[in-house]
Amino acid sequence: MKKIAIIGAGISGLFIANLFKKNPNYQITLYEKKTSIALEEGYGVQLSVNSIRFLNEIGFHKLRNNEKFTPEKINFYSNENLNKICELDITNFNSENCQYTTLKRSSLINFLKTDLEDLIKTGYNISNIDQQNKLIKLSFENGQSYEYDYLIISDGVFSKSKSLISNNEAQPKYNNTLAVRGILSKSPENIDSKNIAIFFGSNYHHVIYPVNSNGDLNFIAIIKHPLSKEEQKKQTLFGDKLFIRKVLEKFPLKNKDFLIDLKELKIFPVFVSNNFHKLQNDNIHFIGDAFYAFPPSFAQGASQSIEGAYELFKSIENNTQGDFYKNRINKTKMVNRRSKFNQFAFHLSNPLITFVRNIFLKVLVKNKKFLEFYLGKIYNN
């Protein structure tokens, strides 16, 4: 029996642990630095069909309907006049059991950890990774150390494991944007609250979508906001009331009244990956944001984390690990290009250019060939 250590119990680590748990040839242990698995109440996550397909293999389709939502459209609006520009039918990519799904992160994490209680060790912060011949020796800050045949690193965008292995070479960079998140229990006027709404503004966009059938809506705004190196590291800044007020005042919105209803508001700087880190050891792998973190404007981080975890599971099972890195890089590059392009297109400022963008968008959302290329290549892997 092969022993596998997974570091980080986020979406990717929990998902791959569920997959290995079903195979008696592997014994897994999942190490998490926090003292409990974070069930961040509220905030939402969008999952496209590429990840739903894999989640269904561990029973996601059985998750209660009041814990998830299946929007059918993405409605695009302009912040300028609040007029709807056009809509995109996302059901085109759905199949009978795989539908574009939105839900609270806490519902997803709760589902993923349900069958793993005895395999998760909380309060374990990695301190050293020693690659000895075929075995990998892990040491933790609590003084304990263990040996494994495989190591799967899924400790997120600020991956300490990656820093340890790369001698601090693979550090993420600030994306020059802040993310403002919250939950709305009341829908803002004039939006279709049964679907995803994206509002474009100058150096800004926000997205509102339902996360369950109770009418709770997730709000996420991405706003350009340069920060100095010191500010990027200053965690207290993002909880500071004056800073939060200043950021909200910067929102280029005609009507900000609905922001009063925003609950659990949180601001955080968005960090993205700078490069890929190729490992020499075939028994150590990165997944999720530790592999690569994208700008959030294509809503693919969690879906790619799930997809990558599934691919790695299959490649270890079939002993084809050499292919994992190559295939994942290709897909990651495709998603990264689209994420960056979306952010660029969503945040345009010049009125003439935004006018032209809107005309293009109206045409493209009806163009089957374009949709197949831009979304289908990612969603129908």
Residues 328 and 304 sit within 8 Å (Cβ to Cβ): no
**Minimum CB distance to ligand FAD smaller for 105 or for 354:** 105
Binding of residue 45 to ligand FAD (CB under 6 A): yes
Distance, in Å, from the CA atom of 272 to the CA atom of 296, rounded to the nearest integer, reads 9
Single-letter code of the amino acid located at 184: L
Identify which range of 71-79, 85-93, 259-267, 282-290 contacts ligand FAD by CB under 6 A: 282-290
**Minimum CB distance to ligand FAD smaller for 55 or for 371:** 55
Binding of residue 173 to ligand FAD (CB under 6 A): no
* Structure tokens, 233: 């590291």
Distance, in Å, from the CA atom of 22 to the CA atom of 333, rounded to the nearest integer, reads 31
List, in order, residues 6 or more apart from 280 with CB less than 8 Å away.
none
Single-letter code of the amino acid located at 54: F
Distance, in Å, from the CA atom of 217 to the CA atom of 1, rounded to the nearest integer, reads 45
Binding of residue 313 to ligand FAD (CB under 6 A): no
> Least CB distance from residue 209 to ligand FAD, whole Å?
8
Interface positions, 200-239, toward ligand FAD (CB under 6 A): 220
Q: Out of 4, 5, 6, 7, point to the residue binding ligand FAD (CB under 6 A).
A: 7
Identify which range of 64-72, 112-120, 130-138, 155-163 contacts ligand FAD by CB under 6 A: 155-163
Binding of residue 289 to ligand FAD (CB under 6 A): yes
**Minimum CB distance to ligand FAD smaller for 52 or for 354:** 52
Binding of residue 154 to ligand FAD (CB under 6 A): yes
Q: Out of 33, 137, 224, 266, point to the residue binding ligand FAD (CB under 6 A).
A: 33
Burial class (CB in 10 A: 0-12, 13-18, 19+), 72: middle
In the beta sheet, which residues pair with residue 274?
none
**Minimum CB distance to ligand FAD smaller for 195 or for 354:** 195
List, in order, residues 6 or more apart from 157 with CB less than 8 Å away.
172, 271, 272, 273, 289, 290, 293
* Structure tokens, 236: 């207290």
Binding of residue 160 to ligand FAD (CB under 6 A): yes
Distance, in Å, from the CA atom of 175 to the CA atom of 265, rounded to the nearest integer, reads 20
123: left (phi over 0), alpha (psi -120 to 50) or beta: left
Binding of residue 301 to ligand FAD (CB under 6 A): yes
Query: Number of residues in contact with ligand FAD, rule: CB under 6 A?
Result: 33
Contacts with ligand FAD by CB under 6 A lie at 7-13, 31-34, 38, 45-46, 125-126, 154-156, 160, 179, 220, 270, 288-290, 296, 299-303, 305
